């Protein structure tokens, strides 16, 4: 060779890359056209919608503008979907020589190494797939920028831009995953039919298998397991294109739901972690594809499966999914399993006939199927024996938990905005939550140390007259995993956990921030603001409610005062000692959820500086509704109820004594298993349907009743109340401590059972 | 130089090449002959780096071929199919290959194209089979590689075009010492173009040598022996001649006349027959096709045998 060697150092990778782009320029143009009809058209429609929304009140003829824009938005959505699916087609085109014999020589014979050829083909396909997306995004921003010059789009730029851009990146990562998984499916197959089949199979089976393994775990042990938690797991959402679609939509829904605390959304907090996990998974698929490609032989081009193991992996996954789904949804496990074996058997042999191109060595197919069935049943049996591979017994070590959120399901203990939405990373909170979790597990599995254990029957709501508190815990571990559990427990079990949450600096920070947001929203005429921005000062309005939850007064605050109030409330919460919390009495409420205790000097000082002083509850404060004592109506409605019978709210379904371990009974006459002992809270939404012969003669709102209300406390930790006060119209619960004075007060209005 | 050393190539359980040793000098026009499935195309794909051998070595200029960009740049392989080029125009196909072969000569391509008058802008799938062949051959020659591998190179070409294409190949061989390896069942073409050839059967090389010497070593002999004293014809058998040391590839007798295909130079053959005092001994050189048939017949690859199986 003469001059050839002089060119040895030239990059054939680059040449292959450019050649591929040139070869697929038609696909590139089609993709570009689809993308241009997608996001940019959507942007135009958004501008038109915002503009029409502004002038709608002035121009009647535009009433049905939404109907006019709808077909165009459908075009936009359709083209976006088509361009996403184009990833599969592009992968096919760029690697067509892997399944077309005529093209194999042409490509393998070129002066390229396997590595150069693979990465040039992969990256050129990716460029054809993704570059039009970026062009469409840039063009969309240009359109929106032009739109901003014409109409006011400040709401979009301030509130929607960040979630949309983030969602855009989720979509792009999802698309790259779809393309990479398509390449992966191509490299282990050698014929067009198997390539097409494997595309479908791999895209369905990766998420389906993960989902069905989870389903098997959940169905084998229902205690504490949360079925839908699979949608929160990166194992599901970051491992397949379908998972990415789930994450994309859940992110949007989460961003929409988190109207007051943007960063509270689980999907928001998981964004970076999901991105990292998804990129790692793409890298794994790419590396696997590369290795399979590198060790694949050119002569394998017409083989159905170049690596036969994938046929068995796909087949086994499909068999597992079908059988586990049938078992999970079937009433009779054995019948479901037999039906599953029959269905899978037929499918398996059809696929064997297709891939073997006939009945050659058919006995190996029978052996393969039998082995697969054995493995699948072995997994199911192990799952059952080990209570879902020990999942329901698993309690994360506090040290491994990065953050935790607690959902007490509308309990008055935590404000709605904070309940379940806030990620606590305080080590004391995490320790308290894991301790609670461990107790819940121990009471179920290692119940010897307890007087009662918790049954699995947590979803039985036939009666809600329980001292039952539903708790959902979500851990995010330092390893990026998410652990979700749901329990119904006696409220006394929650004491330490709730106390740790309320005394944490994080709670002080978040609660004070949310108070500031509620103040600003109360003053806003344009709607609400979703996020508190320290430097974005706004005026607010402070609404004060008394202990009964009735509005007392309100005062307008300038922006500086909003900030001042926020700091005052925050400092009080941060300075609040455990003792103050345990013995505190409610001074007032800010808005409807944020309590101010008597000990909150800074907050009360701020209120007094604004001429707001609250007196204890008096007779006149009880102006409407009625009073009920131990189920007996003393007035016309059930607005306020005092329950002092400790056996009134007990459970026979949720809790059971050690002696009654195998006996369920649901007869209220046999109550007495659980006690209202050390109550933290009770169901705020509980309605009373037990009437004890009320009459107008029983009507009583005397000074002792009012005293009792003033003596009640919103929290009780690890001690036994002698009564509960419920204020139904405000969903509030108070507790009455066991003191001589309280007993006397209670005796004067109702008979208290002896201890 | 091309070297195959004890090369083994397997397709799953089927052994396509079983310890092949072959050496092809630079500048040679080398023919690969063999029965169907003998391993000719496999050798070409090994030499072009498409296949990887399971055993032994495949070397070009002393370097292994597989996954070796530097070596693959020196080789252009034309396989026996043309369907893969259908979506391209000649111009596009030229540009496709031009990217990978730095010595590509536009001038040479244009001069060759004009010689055979191929349209530049028409899709190749509108070409006839012969035109498709011509298209890829002129691109291959324009790439100016050191080695050109052709699998059934002349398939589909009309007689005139065969002459033109052969001329193109010969010119390239003379101009720049192009090494050409041609695999074909058309032995006439191999005979005309190649100076050396190898015969393959069942994944093994039966022989490999210069075609002229090959022809000089195998003879068709027509020999007549005198009758016996009693007037009956002399009935010699194949073994009578084999015992003289001659390698008999084919033996046929009709009364006193024997038709024999035997290996060996002319003097050796004549010396072997001399003791039997033939009345007439006529030696005719064999064509390559006859050598092919008789060599394979010895190995059981016989039209009579195969047809009756």
Q: Do A105 and B61 touch (CB under 8 A)?
A: no
Which chain A residues have a beta carbon less than 8 Å from that of B50? 104-105, 108-109, 298
Q: Cβ–Cβ of B69/A18 closer than 8 Å? A: no
Residue A636 has pLDDT above 50, yes or no: no
pLDDT of residue B59: 92
Closest residue to B51, CB basis, from A106, A114, A299: A299
**Which region among A152-161, A537-546, B115-124 has the lowest average model confidence (pLDDT)?**
A152-161
For tokens 């397991």, what's the residue? Answer: A225
What is the pLDDT at residue B307? 47
Report pLDDT digits (tens) over A673-711: 333 333 333 322 233 333 333 333 333 445 777 788 888
DSSP annotation string for A512-526: HHHHHHHHHHHH-SS
pLDDT (0 to 100) of residue A349: 83
CB contact under 8 A, B50 and A112: no
**What pLDDT, on a 0 to 100 scale, did the predictor assign at position A252?**
76
Q: How far apart are the first and last CA of chain B?
A: 41
Verdict on whether the full-model pTM lies above 0.95: no
Per-residue tokens: A513: 């921030």
Q: Which of B45, B77, B102 is closest, CB to CB, to A7?
A: B102
Distance of CA B245 to the CA centre of its chain: 29
Per-residue confidence at A64, pLDDT binned at 50, 70, 90? low
| A contacts of B84 (beta carbons < 8 Å) | 100, 102-103, 105-106
Neighbours of A130 (CB within 10 A): 18
Which of A40-44, A89-93, B192-196: highest mean pLDDT?
A89-93
pLDDT higher than 90, residue A354? no
Closest partner CB to A8 (pick from B73, B99, B144):
B73
Distance from CA of B84 to the nearest CA of A (A): 5
The pLDDT tens digits of the residues spanning B51-82 come to: 999 999 999 998 999 988 889 999 999 988 87
Report ipTM (2 d.p.).
0.82
The per-residue pLDDT of chain A, averaged, comes to 76
A109 touches chain B (CB under 8 A): yes
Test A105 with B50 for CB contact under 8 angstroms: yes
Mean pLDDT of B108-112: 91
A259-274: average pLDDT: 61
Query: What gap in Å lies between CA A227 and CA A329, rounded to an integer?
Result: 14
Please determine, for residue A149, whether its predicted confidence score (pLDDT) is greater than 60.
yes
**Helices B159-176 and B129-142: angle between axes, nearest 10 degrees:** 10
B-chain CB neighbours of A4 within 8 Å are 73-74, 101-103, 144-146
d(C-alpha A345, C-alpha A340), whole Å: 8
Higher pLDDT, A210 or A724: A210
The strand ranges marked E within B109-254 are 147-151, 179-183, 196-201, 204-210, 218-224, 247-254
Tell whether A5 is within 8 A of chain B (Cβ): yes
Question: In whole angstroms, what is the distance from residue B261 CA to residue A262 CA?
Answer: 95
Least confident of A289-293, A743-747, B18-22: A743-747
Q: Which candidate from B50, B85, B100 shows the least CB-CB separation from A108?
A: B50
Q: Which residue has the higher pLDDT, A64 or A637?
A: A64
Search chain A and give the residue with CA nearest B61. Answer: A1
Residue A522, burial from CB neighbour count under 10 angstroms (0-12, 13-18, 19+): middle
Bridge partners (DSSP) listed for residue A407: A472
Label residue B192 by pLDDT band (50, 70, 90).
confident
Q: Judge: A7–B52 Cβ closer than 8 Å, yes or no.
A: no
CA-to-CA distance for A171 and A278, rounded, in angstroms?
Answer: 11
Exposure pattern of A148-186 as b/e (b: 16+ CB <10 Å)? eeebebeebeeeeeebeebbbebbbbbbbbbbbbbbbbb
- A110 DSSP 8-state letter: S
DSSP assignments along A557-594, one per residue: E-HHHHHHHHHHHHHHHHH--HHHHHH--EEEEETTTE
| CA-based nearest distance B95→chain A, Å | 9
> Chain B closest CA to A256's CA: distance in Å?
50
Report the pLDDT value the prediction gives residue A290, as an integer from 0 to 100: 96
Instruction: Choose among B247, B260, B251, B256: nearest CA to B221.
Output: B260
Contact at 8 Å (CB) between A729 and A549? yes
Which residues in chain B are closer than 8 Å to A12, comparing Cβ atoms?
69, 100
What residues of chain A lie within 8 A of the CB of B48, using their CB? 105, 109
Closest CA to A607 of A502, A504, A515, A715: A515
Check pLDDT > 50 for residue A241.
yes
Measured between alpha carbons, how far is A697 from A316 in angstroms, rounded to an integer? 74
Rounded mean pLDDT, A283-289: 96
Query: Given phi > 0 = left and psi -120 to 50 = alpha, else beta, which region is B129?
Result: alpha
Long-range pairs of A181-186 with CB within 8 A, sequence gap ≥ 24: A181/A206, A181/A240, A181/A241, A181/A285, A182/A87, A182/A88, A182/A91, A182/A92, A183/A91, A183/A95, A183/A122, A183/A125, A183/A285, A183/A286, A183/A289, A184/A285, A184/A288, A184/A289, A184/A292, A186/A91, A186/A92, A186/A95, A186/A98, A186/A99
**Closest of A561, A606, A568, A426 to residue A503, by C-alpha:** A426
pLDDT of residue A669: 35
Q: CB distance from A9 to chain B under 8 Å?
A: no
CB nearest A298 (choices: B51, B74, B85): B51
Cβ contact (<8 Å) for A110 and B102? no
Q: How far is CA B173 from CA B20, B26, B144, B146, B153, in A?
A: 26, 10, 11, 9, 16
Inspect the interface and report whether the beta carbons of A1 and B61 lie closer than 8 Å. Answer: yes
pLDDT value, residue A327: 82
Identify the burial level of A609 via C-beta atoms within 10 angstroms of its C-beta, where 0-12 means exposed, 13-18 middle and 19 or more buried.
exposed
* pLDDT averaged over every residue in chain B: 83
Chain B hits for A5, CB-CB cut-off 8 Å, are 70, 73
- pLDDT of A133 reads 93
Q: Do B146 and A114 touch (CB under 8 A)?
A: no
- CB contact under 8 Å between A4 and B101, yes or no, is yes
- CB-CB under 8 Å, B101 with A111: yes
Asked if the C-beta of A739 comes within 8 angstroms of chain B's C-beta atoms, the answer is no
* pLDDT score of A60: 53
Residues above pLDDT 70, as percent of chain A: 72
Give first-to-last CA distance, chain A, whole Å: 106
> How many residues are recorded in chain B?
309
Contacts of A10 in chain B (CB under 8 A): 102
Q: What is the pLDDT of residue A720?
A: 66
| More confident call, A537 vs B112 | B112
The per-residue pLDDT for B256 is: 73
Whether the per-residue pLDDT at B226 is higher than 90: the answer is: no
Phi, psi of B30 (to 5 degrees): -115, 130
User: Based on C-alpha coordinates, what's the Rg of chain B?
Assistant: 23
Judge contact between A477 and A681, C-beta under 8 A. no
Summarize the confidence of residues A263-275 as an average pLDDT: 69
Mean pLDDT of A527-535: 50
Rounded to a whole number of angstroms, the CA Rg of chain A reads 32
For A15, name the nearest residue in chain B, comparing CA atoms only: B99
């Amino acid at each position: 060779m003469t001059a050839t060697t002089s060119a040895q150092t030239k990059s054939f990778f680059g040449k292959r890359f450019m050649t591929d782009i040139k070869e697929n320029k038609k696909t590139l143009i089609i993709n570009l056209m689809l993308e241009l009809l997608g996001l940019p058209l959507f942007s135009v429609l958004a501008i038109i919608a915002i503009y029409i929304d502004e002038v709608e009140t002035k121009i009647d003829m535009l009433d049905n503008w939404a109907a006019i824009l709808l077909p165009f938005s459908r075009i936009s959505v359709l083209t976006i979907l088509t361009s996403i699916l184009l990833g599969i087609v592009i992968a096919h085109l760029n690697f067509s020589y892997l399944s077309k014999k005529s093209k194999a020589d042409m490509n393998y014979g070129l002066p390229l190494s396997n590595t150069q050829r693979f990465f040039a083909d992969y990256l050129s396909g990716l460029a054809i797939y993704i570059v039009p997306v970026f062009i469409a995004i840039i063009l969309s921003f240009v359109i929106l920028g032009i739109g901003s010059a014409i109409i006011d789009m400040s709401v979009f730029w301030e509130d929607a831009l960040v979630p949309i851009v983030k969602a855009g990146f989720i979509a792009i990562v999802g698309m790259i995953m779809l393309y990479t998984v398509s390449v992966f499916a191509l490299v282990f197959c050698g014929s067009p039919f198997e390539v097409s089949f494997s595309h479908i199979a791999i895209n369905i089976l990766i998420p389906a298998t993960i989902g069905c393994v989870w389903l098997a775990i959940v169905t084998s042990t229902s205690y504490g397991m949360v079925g839908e938690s699979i949608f929160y797991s990166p194992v599901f959402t970051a491992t397949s294109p379908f998972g990415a679609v789930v994450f994309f939509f859940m992110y949007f829904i989460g961003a929409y739901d988190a109207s007051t605390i943007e960063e509270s959304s689980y999907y928001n907090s998981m964004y970076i972690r999901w991105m990292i996990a998804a990129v790692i998974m793409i890298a794994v698929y790419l590396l696997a594809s590369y290795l399979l490609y590198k060790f694949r032989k050119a002569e394998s081009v017409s083989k159905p499966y170049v690596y036969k193991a994938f046929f068995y992996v796909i087949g086994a996954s499909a068999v597992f999914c079908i059988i586990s789904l049938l078992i999970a949804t079937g009433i009779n496990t054995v019948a479901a399993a037999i039906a599953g074996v029959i269905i899978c058997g037929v499918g398996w042999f059809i696929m064997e006939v297709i891939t073997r191109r006939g009945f050659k060595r058919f006995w190996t197919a029978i052996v393969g199927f039998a082995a697969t069935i054995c493995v699948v049943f072995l997994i199911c049996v192990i799952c059952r024996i080990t209570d879902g591979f020990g999942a329901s017994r698993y309690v994360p070590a506090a040290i491994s938990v990065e953050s935790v959120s607690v959902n007490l399901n509308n309990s008055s203990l935590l404000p709605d905005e904070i309940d379940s939405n806030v990620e606590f990373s305080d080590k004391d909170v995490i320790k308290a939550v894991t301790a609670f979790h461990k107790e819940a597990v121990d009471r179920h599995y290692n119940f010897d140390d307890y007087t009662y254990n918790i049954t699995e029957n947590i979803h039985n709501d036939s009666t809600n007259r329980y001292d039952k508190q539903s708790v959902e815990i979500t851990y995010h571990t330092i390893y990026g995993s998410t652990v979700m559990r749901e329990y119904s427990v006696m409220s006394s079990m929650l004491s330490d956990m709730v106390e740790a949450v309320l005394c944490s600096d994080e709670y002080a920070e978040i609660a004070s921030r949310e108070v500031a947001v509620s103040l600003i929203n109360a003053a806003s005429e344009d709607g609400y603001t979703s996020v508190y921005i320290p430097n974005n000062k706004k005026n607010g309005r402070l609404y004060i409610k008394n202990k009964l939850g009735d509005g007392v007064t309100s005062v307008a605050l300038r922006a500086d005062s909003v900030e001042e109030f926020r700091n005052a409330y925050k400092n009080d919460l941060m300075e609040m000692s455990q003792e103050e919390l345990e013995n505190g009495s409610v001074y007032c409420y800010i808005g409807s959820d944020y309590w101010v205790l008597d000990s909150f000097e800074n907050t009360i000082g701020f209120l007094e500086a604004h001429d707001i002083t609250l007196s204890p509850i008096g007779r006149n404060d009880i102006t409407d509704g009625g009073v009920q004592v131990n189920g007996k109506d003393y007035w016309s409605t059930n607005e306020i109820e005092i329950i002092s019978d400790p056996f009134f709210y007990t459970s026979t379904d949720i809790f059971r004594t050690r002696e009654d371990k195998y006996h369920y009974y649901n007869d209220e006459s046999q109550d007495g298993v659980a006690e209202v002992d050390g109550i933290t809270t009770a169901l705020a939404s509980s309605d009373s349907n037990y009437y004890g012969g009320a009459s107008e003669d029983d009507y009583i709102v005397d000074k002792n009743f009012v005293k009792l209300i003033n003596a009640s406390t919103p929290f009780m930790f690890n001690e036994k109340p002698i009564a509960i006060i419920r204020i139904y119209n405000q969903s509030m619960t108070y507790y009455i401590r066991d003191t001589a004075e309280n007993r006397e007060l209670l005796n004067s209005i109702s008979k208290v059972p002896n201890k | 130089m091309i070297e195959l050393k004890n090369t083994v190539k397997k397709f799953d359980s089927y052994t396509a090449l079983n310890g092949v040793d072959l050496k092809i000098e630079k500048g040679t026009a080398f023919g690969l002959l063999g029965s169907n499935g003998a391993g000719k195309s496999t050798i070409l794909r090994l030499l072009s780096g498409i296949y990887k051998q399971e055993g032994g070595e495949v070397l070009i200029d002393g370097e292994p071929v597989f996954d070796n960009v530097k070596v693959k740049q020196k080789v252009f392989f034309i396989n026996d199919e043309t369907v893969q080029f259908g979506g391209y125009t000649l111009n596009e196909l030229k540009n496709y290959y031009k990217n990978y072969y730095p010595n590509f000569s536009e001038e040479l391509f244009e001069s060759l194209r004009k010689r055979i008058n191929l349209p530049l802008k028409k899709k190749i799938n509108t070409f006839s089979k012969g035109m498709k062949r011509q298209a890829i051959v002129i691109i291959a020659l324009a790439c100016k590689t050191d080695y050109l591998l052709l699998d059934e190179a002349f398939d589909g070409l009309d007689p005139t075009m065969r002459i033109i294409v052969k001329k193109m190949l010969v010119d390239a061989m003379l101009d720049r010492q192009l090494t050409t390896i041609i695999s074909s069942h058309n032995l006439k073409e191999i005979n005309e173009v190649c100076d050396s050839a190898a015969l393959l059967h069942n994944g093994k090389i039966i022989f490999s040598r210069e075609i002229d010497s090959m022809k000089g070593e195998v003879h068709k002999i027509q020999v007549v022996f005198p009758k016996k004293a009693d007037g009956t014809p002399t009935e010699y058998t194949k073994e009578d001649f084999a015992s003289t040391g001659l390698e008999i590839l084919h033996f046929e007798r009709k009364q006193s006349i024997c038709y024999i295909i035997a290996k060996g130079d002319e003097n050796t053959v004549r010396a072997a027959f001399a003791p039997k005092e033939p009345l007439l001994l006529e030696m005719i050189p064999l064509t390559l096709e006859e050598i092919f048939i008789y060599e394979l017949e010895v190995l059981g690859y016989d039209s009579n045998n195969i047809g009756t199986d």
